Amino acid sequence: MPALAEAASESAASGEERLVLGVLAHRGQEAARNQWGPFVEYLTEQVEGARFELEAVDNDDLQAAVSEGRFDLILTNSGSYVMLEQRHGISRIATMQPMQVGRDEDRFGAVVVARADRDDLVELRDLRGQRLSAVHPDAFGGWWMTWRELQAAGLDVERDLGALVFTGFPVSRGLDWVIEGEVDAATFRTGILEDLAARGDPRVDQVRVVGERAIPAFSHRSSTRLYPEWPLAMRGDLDTELAHAILLATLALDAQHPVSRAAGIGGWAAPRSYEDVHALMHELGVGLYAPQPFEILAWLRAHLVWLVSALALLAVLALLYVSRVHARVRRSGRNLERSMDAMPDAVVTLDAHGGISYMNPAARELAGLTRDQVLGCSLDQLLDLRELGSDQPLLPAGARGEGLEQALGDRREARLVRRGGHELIVRIARTGLDPVLGSSVRTVLVVTDVSEERKLVDRLVHEASHDGLTGLLNRRAFERELEIAMHAARENRAVSSLLLVDLDYFKDVNDRHGHRVGDELLRQVAHVLRQLTRGHDAVARIGGDEFAIIARDSNAEYARILGQRICSALADRPLQVEARDVTIGASVGVVELGADVPGVDEAFVAADRACYQAKHRGRGQVGIARKSDIHPITGA
């Protein structure tokens, strides 16, 4: 802590805002600092006016630190995040991507291992009567995932396991206990075995996986179903501009960046839905859905004499104040209704039959109805809710009771089509209430408009992958598309071609008319390229006056014809830029993306050589890459 205090003092002296990233150190604090220290340094370099620091903590310390407001950013597992979101208002801004390209992205599971000589332990049901170690009672990947699968296999963990012990961090401690015979099996999150194997750890060869699942497009061995990967979250009151800068810097990290390599990840993506995590907690009765302890019997035994006296006194007072109590209850009810009336979110209460018993003004505004018009109606009669990504109604006609519960779950997002056709994206949180004497309310729905939040995320994702001047793909996003096209070609699914378009005489335009005219000219060139290409082709600006195109499902001959059209379109007539006639041309290099093209860099080099040959022949022409132009690139 003295080091943190000293860092905070230096930050204050320099005028920078100090921000702390709290990381769950599931492999130990030193490993967490080595893994995420470069990420913190990167954020400090990229986010102006802010200095980031790292604090690695365990499960218990993380909950306490977020409760005390010590962390501005939080990086933790999915189960821990869901609890912190509900209890302390943090919100996710990105989800971690794995290092492997083309795999089942941003998901992970848990694995159960036993000694390699334990031929009797094959399926999870074979763990009946065995000693099992897990990481922590509240560990999501280190216990809850496996607990759910054991329960699905018909095992009651309290009665059917021989023993259940918790190792704590680092999670690989369970591996040692299995090998040494202290337990029969151990569970921890996926990826640990593969990381140890990559480092040549001999312990990996001494264990076997119990209950292994075959999961397509997932590279790690797993004994459970998969759940969303770790999210990066921020505290709810973080400055919006600062959060925007952090998100842009985070999304800009790809798999090749040194920061991503140090962390062992493939970068970051827009935040995933964590409904599967809620489902696990609800099924097991843990986390947000854990029953709260209420030790009333122990308290009664300790205060029995005092309690009897107090109850006698209260009985007398109750007779005198019963009317006042009734008045207070009625007043409290009115105050509660006023509070819900003042809420900006829409609040709807339903009775035991699914009929609407109350809608606050925000909800009635969404429905476009008066108070008298909503009472007794079903939810689908008042709110036109539809599934995201389709036009299917979210609620069955007249949905009530279990039908309504199944359609909504505890929390989900949907499209709300308002009267007049205007659409919103809303988040619906459903809470079931226990029966209360004198009250018909059984369900409370809170409907929040998250349209702007979704627009912000979509805009940030678009900005991270597109050129700000022309609106075309930027080089990083184009290279990802090129890698996908080349992979398809190697698998013999489809042949595509790469066109490299280099503008002729563009420097003369900049020198003669200025950069403003040059920028407008680049935008017009981008417009021409969009018109000449098909909707499923990829078009990008990859440099100052360089553009690139992936002509999908096309061989070199088609690409040559397309290149000639581009050359003709740019050279046949001057372009009108700010009332000036600007003459420009282009040279095009083409390479067919067949199995003989080893990688992205080699494809660009071959296309560049073909483009140079076209310029050498007199510009305004198309060059086709020869086989001699394609060879592996060696060296760093």
pLDDT tens digit string along 616-627? 888 889 999 887
Q: What is the rounded distance in angstroms from the CA atom of residue 587 to the CA atom of residue 561?
A: 13
Q: What is the rounded distance in angstroms from the CA atom of residue 404 to the CA atom of residue 356?
A: 12
b/e code 49-59 from CB counts within 10 Å (16+ = b): ebbbbbbbbbb
Bridge partner residues of 473 (DSSP): 466, 540
Lowest mean pLDDT among 103-112, 121-130, 177-186, 294-303: 294-303
Q: Are 110 and 189 in contact (CB under 8 A)?
A: yes
Dihedral of the alpha carbons of 447, 448, 449, 454, in degrees to the nearest 10: -120
What pLDDT score does 8 carry?
46
Q: What is the rounded distance in angstroms from the CA atom of residue 93 to the CA atom of residue 271?
A: 6
Single-letter residue type at 269: A
Extract the tokens encoding 21. 């990233």
The listed range with the strongest mean pLDDT (60-74, 279-293, 426-440) is 60-74
What pLDDT score does 129 carry?
95
Please state the separation of Cα 394 from the chain's center in Å: 23
Q: Are 187 and 223 in contact (CB under 8 A)?
A: yes
Burial tier of 432 (Cβ tally within 10 Å: 0-12, 13-18, 19+):
exposed
Question: Which domains, and CATH codes, for the chain?
Answer: 2-99+229-284 (3.40.190.10), 110-225 (3.40.190.10), 296-330 (no CATH), 343-450 (3.30.450.20), 466-629 (3.30.70.270)
What pLDDT score does 363 carry?
72
Say which residue the tokens 């795999």 belong to.
103
What pLDDT score does 101 carry?
42
Give the 3-state secondary structure of residue 17. strand
Q: What is the rounded distance in angstroms from the CA atom of residue 155 to the CA atom of residue 148?
A: 10
The DSSP string of 443-475 is: EEEEEEE-HHHHHHHHHHHHHHHB-TTT-SB-H
Does an H or E element contain 611, and which? helix 600-616
What pLDDT score does 5 carry?
45
Q: What is the rounded distance in angstroms from the CA atom of residue 613 to the CA atom of residue 616?
A: 5
Q: Are 479 and 604 in contact (CB under 8 A)?
A: no
Give the 3-state secondary structure of residue 3. helix
What pLDDT score does 114 carry?
96
pLDDT > 90 in the chain, percent: 28
Which residues neighbour 536 within 8 Å (Cβ) at sequence distance 6 or greater? Answer: 552
In the sheet that holds 411-417, the strands lie side by side as 356-359, 346-351, 441-449, 423-432, 411-417, 384-386
Average pLDDT, the chain: 82
Three-state SS across 535-589?
Answer: CCCEEEECCCCEEEEEECCCCHHHHHHHHHHHHHHHHCCCEEECCEEECCEEEEE
Residue 392 clears pLDDT 80, i.e. is over it: no
Which residues neighbour 288 within 8 Å (Cβ) at sequence distance 6 or greater? Answer: 82, 83, 86, 278, 281
What pLDDT score does 103 carry?
46
Strands 622-624 and 585-593: parallel
- Taking alpha carbons only, the member of 81, 40, 85, 100 closest to residue 229 is 81
Residues in the chain: 636
Extract the tokens encoding 434. 């226990």
Calculate the alpha carbon distances from 448 to 122, 238, 271, 346, 362 in Å.
47, 20, 18, 6, 10
Q: What is the rounded distance in angstroms from the CA atom of residue 537 to the CA atom of residue 558?
A: 13
Q: Are 613 and 508 in contact (CB under 8 A)?
A: no
- Taking alpha carbons only, the member of 27, 20, 17 closest to residue 4 is 20
Q: What is the rounded distance in angstroms from the CA atom of residue 477 to the CA atom of residue 473?
A: 6
What pLDDT score does 636 carry?
41
Which residues neighbour 490 within 8 Å (Cβ) at sequence distance 6 or greater? Answer: 595
- Taking alpha carbons only, the member of 173, 391, 148, 376 closest to residue 276 is 148
The pLDDT-based confidence of 453 (bands split at 50, 70, 90) is confident
Strands 575-577 and 207-210: unpaired
More confident residue, 21 or 402: 21
Does an H or E element contain 261, and which? helix 258-263
Give the 3-state secondary structure of residue 498. strand
- Taking alpha carbons only, the member of 508, 501, 543, 507 closest to residue 525 is 501
Please state the separation of Cα 459 from the chain's center in Å: 15
Single-letter residue type at 322: V
Lowest mean pLDDT among 4-18, 170-184, 275-289, 312-326: 4-18
Q: Are 183 and 167 in contact (CB under 8 A)?
A: no
The listed range with the strongest mean pLDDT (82-91, 114-123, 170-179, 482-491) is 114-123
